Amino acid sequence: MSDPKSRAGTVTNPVIPGFHPDPSICRVGDDYYLVCSSFEYFPGVPVFHSRDLVHWTQIGNALDRPSQLRLPPDMPSSAGIYAPTLRHHDGRFWLIVTNVGDDGNMLFTATDPAGPWSEPVRLPGVAGIDPDLAWDEDGTCWCTVAGVSQVRIDPLSGAALGEPRRLWSGTPGAQAPEAPHLYRIGDYWYLLIAEGGTERGHGVSIARGRTPSGPFEPCPANPVLTHRSTGHAIQNTGHADLVRAPDGSWWMVLLGVRPRGGTPGWHVLGRETFLAPVEWVDGWPVVGELSPDMPVPAWPLRPGPVPPVRDDFDEAGLHPRWISLRERPERLCTTEERSGWLTLHAAGASVDEPDVVFVGRRQQHLSCAARTLVDPDEGRGGLAVRLDERHHYEIEASGREVRVLARVGPLRTEVASARVPAGPVALGVEITPQPPGDPRTGPDRIAFGVEAPDGTFTALAMLDGRYLSTEVAGGFTGRVIGMYAAEGTVHFDWFDYEPLDG
């Protein structure tokens, strides 16, 4: 992931840019750990570490084995892994999550959040999404889900200990009460939820009670955070989690989006993870201003390692930032068949197909460039910018021909083509903002082309980025840029990803 930059007493929000929604956080000593939803991508549930809440480093993926994560080929995009909750209790890390469309709610444990994580414990008695875990003083484990309802569980066996019961479900008339998190803070149990839907009406509300099962009294200032009906640069704010720093200060992580272009605004990176300060006033949380340039915390910032721009595929395995669609069989994806190259063997015949062999990374900057050196002599494949099976652009090489392809809903077309010299060819994509002016202007432009050995980039086609946005495609994910094979065997020597917007 990209390392946020401190400047002039502020830190850049989002703290984890790109498609990293539904953040859940916990602190152990001086270390913070955070997880996000991953939907149809494998491996699932990226795990991040920080020492200052600002600089985050991905240390793994919790669900990195097929036995932990089943994503069937017929499962639609934006299904799969929803809304994990990460907690630390009794010397162990606990992760509870929903696999929509397959396994339902599951619970995993680890002694090290970098992994390995356990095999899943199934929770057949827990119905609903967005599960949360909390333990009371006598060790009872409470599981609360979207809706909002709650049931006691045995976290070791997965058994429900009683019948679910309804809790406070937010503002009367507000849609989609979800993302519950339950905390013991001082004399009260606090129930934090999202409501209003995960689009422009999203918000965060809270209630409190004397016991973990209520009754709950709503905060008179609800919602405690929302950007609905504002012109704020950050929209869709919600799905929050609270954490207390070692100095006693409180912070909130939450999801939001950054729409661009004319009306109605298009967000293309998906829902990202933001950070906001919290103060407690009269027993209720007051969330500070959430801005792209947020005042830095009072403690010293501790920048983590900056991920390399280039991946040469010299290691036996792939870095945890790389994700694939639904599965990643070793027989179809390997760095060992040709030394120093990533080799992909085709299954699905195009990026339209749910079983296309694809290895990508999240687009994390509003303006960026990606390059890859591909050897297509044994097959057909290339470089794609993907939102889902029905919304993607790609540049594809086969023999001595390169083609730019576009899929938007039911329409699929070849946009441009060119002849190239025999042998490996460097394919590239450059994503830049659209010039402002026309209120119908889209968020960005996506140029596909080839790069000469001297670094000169020749664009073959320039495409409108709005069609690879959530506002057009729907769903819950963001853009992923990566390599794919559509026929035969395709080798990739390296992959570069470079932010262009600082």
CA–CA dist 37, 79 (Å, integer): 10
CA–CA dist 419, 422 (Å, integer): 9
**DSSP letter for each residue of 51-81:** SSSSS-EEEEEEE-STTT----TTSPTT-EE
Give me the numbers of helices (H) and strands (E) for the chain, helices first please. Answer: 1, 39
CA–CA dist 155, 123 (Å, integer): 9
| 122: helix, strand or coil | strand
Q: Angle at CA 433, nearest 5°, toward 352 and 370? A: 55
Alpha-carbon distances, residue 51 vs 28, 57, 410 (angstroms): 10, 10, 46
CA–CA dist 475, 470 (Å, integer): 6
| Order of strands, sheet of 165-166, starting from the edge strand that comes earlier in the sequence | 132-135, 141-145, 149-153, 165-166
Contact yes or no for 172/162 (Cβ under 8 A): no
The DSSP bridge pattern shows strands 6-7 and 24-28 to be unpaired
Using alpha carbons, select from 280, 296, 107 the residue that is nearest to residue 208.
Answer: 280
Question: Is the N-terminal amide bond of 14 cis, ω within 30° of 0?
Answer: yes
Question: Quick check: is 178 catalytic?
Answer: yes
Contact yes or no for 99/69 (Cβ under 8 A): yes
Question: Quick check: is 154 catalytic?
Answer: no
**DSSP letter for each residue of 434-501:** PPS-STT--SEEEEEEEE-TTS-EEEEEEEEGGGGSHHHH-SS---EEEEEEEEEEEEEEEEEEEES-
The beta strands (E) that lie in 43-172 are given as 44-50, 57-63, 80-89, 92-100, 104-110, 121-122, 132-135, 141-145, 149-153, 165-166
CA–CA dist 290, 72 (Å, integer): 38
Contact yes or no for 197/235 (Cβ under 8 A): no
Contact yes or no for 192/242 (Cβ under 8 A): yes
Alpha-carbon distances, residue 343 vs 338, 492, 494 (angstroms): 7, 6, 11
- Which of the following is catalytic: 178, 394, 396, 464? 178
Burial of 114 (0-12, 13-18, 19+ CB in 10 A): middle
φ and ψ of 165, to 5 deg: -135, 145
**DSSP letter for each residue of 407-425:** EETTEEEEEEEEE--SS-E
Active site residues: 22, 178
